[in-house]
Amino acid sequence: MKHTIQALVENKFGVLARISSLFSARGYNITSLAVGETQDPTISCMTIVVNAEDERILEQINKQLHKLIDVITVIDFTRKDYIDRELILVKLYKDKSKKKNLEKLSREEHLKIIEETENYFIIQLCADKHKIEEALKELRSFKIKELIRSGRIAIGK
């Protein structure tokens, strides 16, 4: 099962390596990882989506993260109220017959066609994990040239 964990860490050299090597050394799977500065430039926020088979492993992941000296706090969103967002950018082959479908999709799923080139539509979608999955299902009926996903970020309510 996938879990979203937020770690506030010291914004300094080598911290990302510590986090990623913790995961590889202990055999935990990272699905996505997003890192960025917070309102305090000395602190970075890492949003980590992990695949933990059971509660025991999830508990260990949280504790092991917290044990790293450069990690300030760890929040496991599993049982918390939070808002999450992911960003996807998709390059679709142009297919005139499907333009209508695409426009319909953009109304329903908040997809945005941000650029139209000679051969492609470039589409952006910023949404929570469920909407992203739904939109991706729909987009599979188009011919996809490239699909790029950001890591998930999340904020507690």
Partner 1 sequence: MKGAEILIKSLLKEGVDVIFGYPGGSVIPFFDFLYDSPLKFILTRHEQAAAHMADGFARSTGKVGVCVATSGPGATNLTTGIATAYMDSVPVVAITGQVKTSLIGNDAFQEADVTGITRSISKHNYLVKDVNEVARTVKEAFYLANSGRPGPVVIDLPVDIQLQEADFEYPEKIDIRSYKPTQFGHPGQIKKALKMIYNAKRPVIIAGGGVIISGANKELLEFAKLTGAPVVCTFMGLGAFPSDQELYLAMPGMHGTVYANMAITESDLLISVGCRFDDRVTGKVDAFAPEAKIIHIDIDPTSISKNIKVDIPIVSDAKNALGQLNQEIKTGKLCESGSWHKRIKDWKAKYPINYKKSSSLKIKPQYVIEELYRQTGGEAIVATEVGQNQMWAAQFYKFDYPRHFLSSGGLGTMGYGFPAAIGAKVANPSKEVVVIAGDGSIQMNIQELATISSYNIKVKIIILNNHYLGMVRQWQEIFYKRRYSGTPLKNPDFVKIAEGYGIKGVRIDKASEVKKAIKEIIDYDGAVLADFWIEEEENVFPMVPAGEAINRMIGGMA
- Nearer Cβ to partner 1 (59/108): 59
What are the residues facing 10 on neighbouring strands? 43
Which residues in the chain belong to E strands, given as ranges? 2-10, 29-37, 43-51, 71-76, 82-93, 112-116, 120-127, 144-149, 153-156
CA dihedral sign of residues 95, 99, 100, 101:
positive
By CB under 8 A, which span of 5-13, 79-87, 113-121, 132-140 interacts with partner 1?
5-13
40, 53, 63, 134: residue in contact with partner 1 (rule CB under 8 A): 63
27 binds partner 1 (CB under 8 A): no
35 binds partner 1 (CB under 8 A): no
Nearest Cα residue to 155 out of 75, 87, 82, 85? 82
56 binds partner 1 (CB under 8 A): yes
For partner 1, the binding residues (CB under 8 A) are: 9-10, 13-14, 17-18, 21-22, 25, 56, 59-60, 63-64, 66-67, 69-72
